[in-house]
């Protein structure tokens, strides 16, 4: 199965700054079938990005996804207070689907 | 907007069967794939398996054949059974809708503890 490794484990930034989160796959993700999710306390995970770069409905355009093959990036251009959360990636190019361990974005 | 809600016992004894139900509201279960995902304490999310609304299933081999997912279209529900549970099955269990491979709607999750 494909192992996804996210870095950094924790990212400390301030509102207004730019965040860059990485997700690296142990082998190439077929068709760049990679998604990003946001998880905040008390809330279900929220889909942000699918197919590596397609924003989900209602997701602000400060969130963007990029990458291909084994290296993928989630960028948040200017952090808002509500963006401080845990972010994780997921691949669905190969069975079984697998998840990264998460990056905590803290103030 | 579709909403999902997990329901289950909270506590299951070792060697018994864990049973959970996911109720879908605000939309039909028809036309989609539906999935179960879990997160053991301190570990990453683990995909358990999925079911198509017509009944086709696929499971993660890591659960060694202990998993069954079923669907009840009349109730707009789908369910998870995990047999012969051990402490390693203690986790938060989520149900989710699959849309093109990613999970576009999730339940809040329910904590299941395996303990005597």
Give B-chain residues touching A37 at CB under 8 angstroms: 103
Q: How far apart are CA B96 and CA A1, in angstroms?
A: 21
Averaged pLDDT of chain A? 96
Q: Do B101 and A50 touch (CB under 8 A)?
A: yes
Per-residue model confidence (pLDDT) at position A42: 84
Q: Decide if pLDDT at B64 tops 90.
A: no
Per-residue model confidence (pLDDT) at position B63: 92
Averaged pLDDT of chain B? 96
Mean pLDDT to the nearest integer, B28-40: 96
Mean pLDDT to the nearest integer, B18-32: 96
Mutation site, A44, A49, A72, interface B, largest B CB count within 10 A:
A44
Question: How confident is the model over A18-35, as pLDDT tens digits?
Answer: 999 999 999 999 999 999
Exposure class string for B49-72: b at 16+ Cβ within 10 A, else e: bbbebeeeeebbeebeeebbbebe
Strand partners, A36: A49, A89
Looking up tokens 């081999």, which residue turns up? B61
Pair of tokens at residue B32: 């989609």
Mutation site, B99, B101, B109, B110, interface A, largest A CB count within 10 A:
B101
């Amino acid at each position: 199965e494909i192992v996804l490794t996210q870095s950094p484990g924790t990212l400390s930034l301030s509102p207004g700054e730019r965040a860059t989160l990485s997700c690296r796959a142990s082998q190439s993700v077929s068709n760049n079938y990679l998604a990003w999710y946001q998880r905040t306390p008390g809330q279900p995970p929220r889909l942000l990005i699918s197919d590596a770069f397609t924003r989900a409905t209602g997701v602000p355009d400060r969130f963007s996804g990029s990458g291909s093959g084994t290296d993928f990036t989630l960028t948040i251009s200017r952090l808002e207070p509500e963006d401080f959360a845990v972010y994780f990636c997921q691949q669905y190019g190969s069975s079984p689907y697998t998840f990264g361990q998460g990056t905590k974005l803290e103030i | 907007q579709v909403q999902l809600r997990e329901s289950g016992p909270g506590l299951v004894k070792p060697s018994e069967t864990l049973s959970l139900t996911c109720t879908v509201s605000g939309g039909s279960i028809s036309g989609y794939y539906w999935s179960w995902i879990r997160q053991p304490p301190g570990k990453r999310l683990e995909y358990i398996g999925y079911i198509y609304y017509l009944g086709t299933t696929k499971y993660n081999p890591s659960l060694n054949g202990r998993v069954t997912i079923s669907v009840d279209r009349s109730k707009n529900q789908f369910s998870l059974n995990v047999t012969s549970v051990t402490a390693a099955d203690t986790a938060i269990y989520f149900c989710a809708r699959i849309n093109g491979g990613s999970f576009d709607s999730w339940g809040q999750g329910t904590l299941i503890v395996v303990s005597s």
